[in-house]
Amino acid sequence: MASCCHADEYSSLFGGGEATRRAWLFRHVGLHGSARRAAEFAANAGDGDATLLEVGGGLGEIQVALLEQDRVATATSVDLSTGWEDRAVELLVERGLADRVERRVGDVVDDVEDLPVADLVVAHRVLCCYPHWQRMVDALLALTRRRLVVTLPVDRRRTRAFIGIGNRFMARSGRAFRAFVHPVDDVLAHAAAAGFVVVDDDAGLAWRTIALEPRGT
């Protein structure tokens, strides 16, 4: 697997207690922060017939929100971690959406040929977990029919310092996982060379959410 860490380690970091906390927060607060913005950017290009692919789908809050807003008809979620599954399925059953979401465990780069091309593709806080951003961006672009929404760390010195501290903590804890602040301008130039243009862009203190569409659509 070419991802940033082994799947078993990823499952121990993402899911479990974090899944329980996220499920409680979504039920009581709904989407917030950059997740809300990513959903808004996706919804702007969605409709009642659109398909959604969320890479690094986690608990699936963005999927649930877009389905309940009738901005997509069906969704596919792919994530390396198995730790989300119990709470995610509970949420889907509770909302009556279990038959409209397909959940897969896997790596979008390794599994790109087996994943469905979708009208809307969302990768919220995922690119920062992958060391070889070009490979993931290529996979995301290949799977996008109408709009791609990505959220990645703001490319600032402060962000790099903060993530560097977190990576040192991970190393001292014996974990292989590392986070990355990729050069946003290079990411966008790579997408532009593949024929995608930026149509929405919002930068907060820590996260930048960008929507891209194939040129000419």
**Which CATH homologous superfamily contains domain 7-214?**
Vaccinia Virus protein VP39 (3.40.50.150)
**What pLDDT is stored for residue 99 in this prediction?**
97
Q: Which region among 2-16, 76-90, 116-130, 155-169 has the lowest average model confidence (pLDDT)?
A: 2-16
For residue range 69-91, list pLDDT tens digits in order: 999 999 999 999 898 999 999 99
The Cα–Cα gap between 98 and 156 comes to 40
Enter the tokens of residue 3.
């991802």
What does the alpha-carbon distance between residue 178 and residue 191 come to, in Å, rounded to a whole number?
24
- What is the C-alpha separation between 108 and 69, in angstroms, rounded? 26
Closest CA to 184 of 209, 213, 205: 209
Please give the average per-residue pLDDT across 146-156, as a whole number.
Answer: 93
Does position 116 have pLDDT exceeding 80, yes or no?
yes
The whole-chain average pLDDT of the chain stands at 90
Domain boundaries, the chain: 7-214
What is the β-pairing status of strands 118-124 and 51-55?
A: parallel
pLDDT at 158 (0 to 100)? 78
169: confidence class by pLDDT, cuts 50, 70, 90: confident
List, for residues 18-33, the tens digit of each pLDDT value: 899 999 999 999 999 9
For every residue of the chain, which 3-state class applies, written as one string? CCCCCCHHHHHHHCECHHHHHHHHHHHHHCCCHHHHHHHHHHHCCCCCCCEEEEECCCCCHHHHHHHHCCCCCEEEEEECCCECHHHHHHHHHHHCCHHHEEEEECCCCCCHHHCCCEEEEEEECCHHHCCCHHHHHHHHHHHEEEEEEEEEECCCHHHHHHHHHHHHHHHHCCCCCCCCCCCHHHHHHHHHHCCEEEEEEEECCCEEEEEEEECCC
Q: What does the pLDDT look like over 32-64, one tens digit per residue?
A: 999 999 999 999 999 999 999 999 999 999 999
- pLDDT band with cut points at 50, 70 and 90 for residue 9: low
pLDDT at 188 over 50: yes
Task: With 0.95 as the threshold, say if the pTM is over it.
Answer: no
Separation between Cα atoms, residue 127 and residue 20, nearest integer Å: 23
